Structure 1
Amino acid sequence: MHDRLIGAQRTLMSAPAHQIVEHLSEYLTEQYAVAALELFQVDYRLSELVPLDGGPAVTHPGAPAWRAFDHLAEVVDGAALWLPVAVRGDRLGVVRITPAPDDPRLRAELAEIADLLGHSLAAAREGTDRYAVAARTKRLTLAAEMQWGLLPGRGRTGPAFALAGQLEPAYAVRGDTFDWSDDLDRLQVVVINGHGEGVAAATLTCLAMNALRNARRAGLDVADQATLADQAIYSYHRGAQHIDALLLDLDLRTGVVTAVDAGSPRLLRLRGGEISPVALEAQDPLGMFDGTMYATQTFTLEPGDRLFVVSDGIVDATARGTRYGENLLDRFLARSGALSPLAAVRSVIGDLRAFIGGETVDDAVAVCLDWTPPGPGDDRRQT
């Protein structure tokens, strides 16, 4: 690693959690003759890039800041250099650096430093509220606060996959959520379609998600994970409350997916520009009955396949007496193949907002997963 990059890393590691941007800006002024470094974080709705210290947000989709965010690439706009800030595929925002260096080697170094900043921001969020608060354009409800605190992030990439998810309405979501974990050659994904209102719905989802994580971290397969979560919910609510869930376990080497459909959200596959449902036998929702035993089902992906999981809050959304419905959703998803997973879920939610003319009344969740196994001789490594 270049000496200046090592210096930037040390600066980020030694800075107080709430001042890492300021300390990094001072370092770049000394080493790169940078006049200003500004951080813009993406907001909870994925619709604004919000400056850390206030000021107008960037909302126009074609703006240089959004091009850097969407394409994970540098964008030079006059005297400004825009760079994406992300960590393992989870896009946090962008930085604007002025003036933009003419030397492409310096810009490449600054891009690496922006990556280091992403990792530092992810760690700093555990110790300060500054960045979480600055990314909000309005106050979260208590239920939404609980739900966002559950999430593993909004995106993740690895050598053989890319995925992303989004909740809606972002600032008032109640029961819908998602989770994932990648380990060696496996990727496990859970999508929950919650029930109920407010904090009661969020509490039920928290119980289900933590039961599923507890079982997963104990090394249980997805069928036993569902069984344990089912028992946890039933023992507390005695069947009065239940939750719909889809559990997926993808073998990243072979593309074989082991699934448990517990009254789950809608699962769709995009292959060769054609969208089609993945047929799974629906089993009882988690917590509905005492002693439910869950069985796994399998299906196989082909390289380049894309999976979508969407909750009924999208399909059943209604505006002016018209239901959004499966046909409109399928047509929209079929055109999303050129988009990244995050751009795809952002577009789905954006299309839904446009359809209903505002935020959804019901909860909605969308998750997009691409399986992109390395080809022969392709030695990809996650960064």
Structure 2
Amino acid sequence: MVDRAATALSLVRMMQASHTVTLEQIPGLVAEHAARAGLHDAAVYVVDIRETVLRRLTGEGCDAGGGGEEYTVQGSLPGQAYQRVDVLAEPGQDGTPGGRRRWWVAVTDGVERLGVLRADTDGDDEPTRQTLRDLASTTALLLLSKRSFSDSYARLVRTEAMNVAAEMQWNLTPPPAYAGHDVTVGAVMEPAYQVGGDAFDYAVAGTTLHLSIFDAMGHDTTAGITANVAVAACRNARRQGASLAETSRQVERVLLEQFSTTRYVTGILADLDTASGRLAWINRGHHLPLLVRDNRWAIELVCPPAGPMGSALGLPVIQRTEQLQPGDRLLLYTDGLVEARDADGSEFGRDRFVDFIRRQHAGRHTLHETLRRLMAAVMDHHAGRLDDDATVLLTEWRGSDQQELTP
């Protein structure tokens, strides 16, 4: 049985020591302090951008993963711990020194899944499991504090070369997962390594959740630049207190200044009052938002479209509102998702998209695991390669229906 007091002190010491270490030094730091807490042979694995493999962080080589093994997210015990956000023990006690039990624990920050932690223990009781969770949570904070300026981390979480547009987009977007007291947000974007003009954004200010999705004209580096300019202009206007309509006009002004009318961006801009569930949104020439209610039916939230931002069509920007109910899921998406075609020319389609979300939710998968599986299904439908960017921004408003959050 682990000593909980010793564990707490060890984790505090680990955090204190982490301030001056690099990403490459994290494996040794975690293993050292885990051992002091009664957790042996600890190792850290991070998930790749597409959430298909878990790669061991060893601290060696140009990607800090030299000599380390990897596990698939689908079909392995570490992958199950990652998918389920759980603490899972390997069956039996063979293969570990002294007959210890080997565990796999999801490493998460809030609801963002970063990877898994492996450790061996002498006991199998609730204090031991809680110590494993505590170590995993602390490890998540260490990874977050180092990844933004670590090229090694960027290399480790990639399984193929990335184009310049994708490099820009992944450095522009917020984390793909967020949860507050009343709301959860998740996002996916493909093709992860060749994305062109898609972008998503969200931010929180008090009880307001700002949501936006953009689809820039084209599939080249200039499309990526256009999307970057649109997101930056949107944030700039929003942070100065502009309304949704005025924010979109500011985006258009900036795009016209930079590109005249040669480049444009479609998009949905929305504000959700997380206290009341009141949703306001505008449509700038984009696919309409979808609302899934009671996991039974879905409707399009109708809003007369203004022209794409940067097209200078001069159409009126009209704001619409909708009162959400607890448990409602709001889907913002780009055309590449529903228009992905298989070898026979059949589109993935809106109906299949919505049905997939409903079925996965009924299967008790988390919002973020649902999105991971959705994009895997879209990629499979299109034989692993998309002709257009496909992005989904999914928001669930829980309202007064509070539940314990699981990533």
Using structure 2 for the length normalisation, give the TM-score: 0.87
CA distance in 1, matches of 2:16, 2:287: 45
More deviation, 254-263/31-40 = 31-40
Aligned to 1:67: 80
Aligned to 2:54: 49
Matched letter for residue 322 of structure 1: S
1:102-251 mapped onto 2 (5 Å cutoff): 102-251=124-273
Pick one of 290, 297, 311 that aligns with 1:288.
311
Aligned to 1:16: 22
| Structure 2 residues without counterparts, runs of 5 or longer | 58-64, 92-100
CA distance in 1, matches of 2:313, 2:386: 33
Pick one of 352, 355, 359 that aligns with 1:331.
355
Offset of 1:156 from its aligned partner? 0.5
Offset of 1:207 from its aligned partner? 0.5
Offset of 1:330 from its aligned partner? 2.8
Matched letter for residue 304 of structure 1: G
RMSD, aligned CA: 2.3
CA distance in 1, matches of 2:259, 2:334: 23
Pick one of 300, 323, 330 that aligns with 1:300.
323
SS at match of 1:335: helix
| Structure 1 residues without counterparts, runs of 5 or longer | none
Q: Is the 8 A contact 1:165 1:367 kept in 2?
A: yes
- What is the count of residue pairs matched by the alignment? 380
Pick one of 349, 364, 369 that aligns with 1:343.
369
Aligned to 1:40: 45
- Give the 3 Å change call, closer, same or farther, for CA 184–18 of structure 1 in structure 2: farther
Aligned to 1:368: 394
Residue deviations 1:64-87, cap 9 Å, x none? 222222222211224321111122
Offset of 1:147 from its aligned partner? 0.8
SS at match of 1:61: coil
More deviation, 330-339/278-287 = 330-339
Aligned to 1:357: 383
- Give the 3 Å change call, closer, same or farther, for CA 381–264 of structure 1 in structure 2: same
Aligned to 1:279: 302
Residue deviations 1:360-379, cap 9 Å, x none? 1211101211101245xx69
More deviation, 337-346/179-188 = 337-346
Offset of 1:171 from its aligned partner? 1.1
Q: Structure 1 residue 312 and structure 2 residue 338: aligned?
A: no
More deviation, 99-108/169-178 = 99-108
SS at match of 2:263: coil
Offset of 1:381 from its aligned partner? 10
Offset of 1:126 from its aligned partner? 2.5
Offset of 1:380 from its aligned partner? 8.2
Aligned to 2:94: none
More deviation, 265-274/195-204 = 265-274
- Give the 3 Å change call, closer, same or farther, for CA 101–141 of structure 1 in structure 2: farther
CA distance in 2, matches of 1:118, 1:205: 30
Offset of 1:266 from its aligned partner? 4.1
Q: Is the 8 A contact 1:82 1:97 kept in 2?
A: yes
SS at match of 1:116: helix
Q: Structure 1 residue 77 and structure 2 residue 101: aligned?
A: no
More deviation, 347-356/159-168 = 347-356
Matched letter for residue 356 of structure 1: H
Offset of 1:9 from its aligned partner? 2.2
Matched letter for residue 277 of structure 1: E
Moved over 3 A (4+): 290-293, 378-383
